[in-house]
Structure 1
Amino acid sequence: MVAYTHFGKQPDVFKHLILCEVLHNEKPQVYVETNSACAIYTMTRTPEQEYGIYHFLNEIIKSSTLKSSLYYQLESENMANGNYLGSPALAMKIMDKNVQEYLFFDLEESALENIKSFATHQTIMPPIKTFNCDSIDGVLKLLPSLPKTTFLHIDPYEIDKRNNNGYTYLDVLINATRLGMKCLLWYGFMTISDKTRLNKYVSEKLKKANIKDYTCSELIMNAIRKDTIICNPGILGSGILATNLSQCSKTIIQDYSNKLVEIYKDARYKEFDGSLYNDIISKKQNIKIKRHL
């Protein structure tokens, strides 16, 4: 049985909204996902989902940009039937036959079976390979054999946690970036102290690797505190770190982050302030902007 419960929460909305638009724009030949989880979920309408995907759907009328997004089009159709599409399904729907191969990693074998089952119901589907193993080692081993036109969706939550061989998911991004591949890495945090530590970790590792052109956008709940956790909507803050993307995709990341801040302006999670703010960090432009809209 799959134990995942993250689906449909606010960080998923952020992650999947941007993933859909970037994949459509970049049009990769090979798609790799490090932490796939399932392709499709049955919604249970928890308070966390109410704050996440349901708030997004209810407030979509406020933003023509979000209403025309691929994420909205795909999720609204499936949500009407009580289902939520995870990133493997979104990727398949958006890229369809235009991808040569999909490579999905997950430690839960049942999640990979869910992906394969979903794929069998697609009209046209390129080859799918699944890997039930540690994805840090697995992807690092595969990278030299993959084409430069590969897109990596790295989705671990903890990007600084070392595996048994001493590598992290940020190492995966760095190695793929050096090979010219496009990368989108998502991570989460629960306190400002965690955020500060991760920002320092990322900037120092990328500087050491001589990766100067990257974009990082974070969405953070205003209820977040320095060292304490007063509520738990799933995750209080999350970020998307991107490398080797086109300028159009970089703009998409920034614009859609701001649009989500706008539609969450008056949001509540239970009795807590559910509004968001956005930190955008771009090494190339040497800027860090904190936005409250």
Structure 2
Amino acid sequence: MSTYTHFAKQPDVLKHLVLCEALRNETPQVYVETNSACAIYQMAHTPEQQYGIYHFLENANEDTALKNSIYHKLESTEMAKGHYLGSPALAMNVLGNQAQRFVFFDLEKSALDNVAFYTKQIGLDVSVEVHNTDSLEGTMQLLPSLPRSSFIHIDPYEIDKKGDSGYTYLDVLIKATQLGMKCLLWYGFMTEDSKESLDKYITSSLKKEGIKSYTCVELTMNSIRKDSILCNPGILGSGILATNLSQESQNMILDYGNKLVNIYKNAKYKEYDGSLSIQHNINL
């Protein structure tokens, strides 16, 4: 069994909602995911999941776009069976046979076994590759061989920590962006200090590498504190950094971020304020 327990929490809602719509808009022939985790999970009705996917499904009817989103359609169907679809399953369901190749990296073999099992269930196993190895080194080695139309989903949580290869996950985004590929990077933070540090790291790194066009949207729980952790719903804040996406996808990321803020305006995580704030940095 996989040890992953982060699924279906509030930051997953942002990440997966945006991922599904971006893939629909961009229709890549090759999809690469650096930190796949599992394709499908058994739900457990934890307070963190209640604040995450359950709150989303219960309140998405307030907004037509959210209710009609691919993410809502896929997850509401699967949640009725007691399951949650992770990003590998969402990507495969959105792209289907129109994609020629899916590449999933993860250090946990059990997670990749889960992905492989799911791909056989939906009949896509011929086009799916799983790599039980360090995704920093593996992805950087893979990038030069991929077509420019590839979509790279970078989902590590920590984007500023160097691996054994000497690369960070932001380095992966930078290289893929410079090669002309479509990139979506998700990251998390637990304090305002951490958020500020990551924001500076992102903007300075992109500027240094000459990347001027990007979209960055962050959703932060209003219970976040400067340098301490008041509560832990999984992650107190997360961001989406996108490069080389169409204008439609860039607009969608900000639009869906605002829509999530709206449906979480009266939310609670246990006894804590579960409302969200949004911050965006769009350079075109």
* TM-score class normalised by the smaller sequence: over 0.9
- CA deviations 1:60-81 (Å, max 9, x no partner) are 1211110000000000000000
Question: What SS is found at the alignment partner of 2:151?
Answer: strand
SS of the counterpart of 2:81? coil
**2:3 matched residue in structure 1:** 3
Question: Quick one: which amino acid aligns to residue 136 of structure 1?
Answer: L
Aligned ranges 1:117-266 → 2 under 5 Å: 117-124=117-124, 126-266=126-266
Q: State the Cα deviation string for residues 62-108 of structure 1 (Å, max 9, x = none).
A: 11110000000000000000000000000000000000100000000
Displacement of 1:165 = 2.4
Task: State the secondary structure of the residue aligned to 2:4.
Answer: coil
Secondary structure in structure 2 of the residue aligned to 1:223: coil
Point out where structure 2 has 5 or more consecutive residues left out of the alignment: none
Q: Partner residue of 1:71?
A: 71
TM-score, normalised relative to structure 2: 0.99
Is the 2:10–2:52 Cα contact (8 Å) retained in structure 1? Answer: yes
Q: Which residue of 2 aligns with 1:287?
A: none
SS of equivalent residue, structure 1 residue 73 = helix
CA-CA distance at 1:283 after TM superposition = 2.3
**Contiguous gaps of at least 5 residues in structure 1:** 285-293
Task: Tell me the CA shift for residue 7 of structure 1.
Answer: 0.4
Normalising by structure 1, report the TM-score. Answer: 0.96
Letter in 1 for 2:104: F
CA distance in 2, matches of 1:28, 1:15: 18
What is the 5 A alignment of 1:42-121?
Answer: 42-121=42-121
**In the alignment, is the contact (CA less than 8 A) between 1:42 and 1:83 conserved in 2?**
yes
Count residues in correspondence: 284
Correspondence for 1:13? 13
Structure 1's consecutive aligned runs of 4 or more residues displaced over 3 angstroms after TM superposition are 123-126
Q: Provide closer, same or farther for how the CA distance between residues 237 and 62 of structure 1 changes in structure 2, counting only shifts above 3 A.
A: same
Over the residues paired in the alignment, what is the CA RMSD in angstroms?
Answer: 0.8
Report the 3-state secondary structure (helix = DSSP H, G, I; strand = E; otherwise coil) of the residue aligned with 1:120. helix
Query: How much has 1:164 moved relative to structure 2?
Result: 1.2
- Deviation, structure 1 residue 125: 5.3
1:231-268, Cα deviation, whole Å (9 max, x unpaired)? 00000000000000000000010100000000000000
Identity %: 62
Q: One-letter code of the match for 1:19?
A: L
Deviation at 1:127, TM superposition (A): 1.1
CA distance in 1, matches of 2:30, 2:22: 14
AA partner of residue 20 (structure 1): C
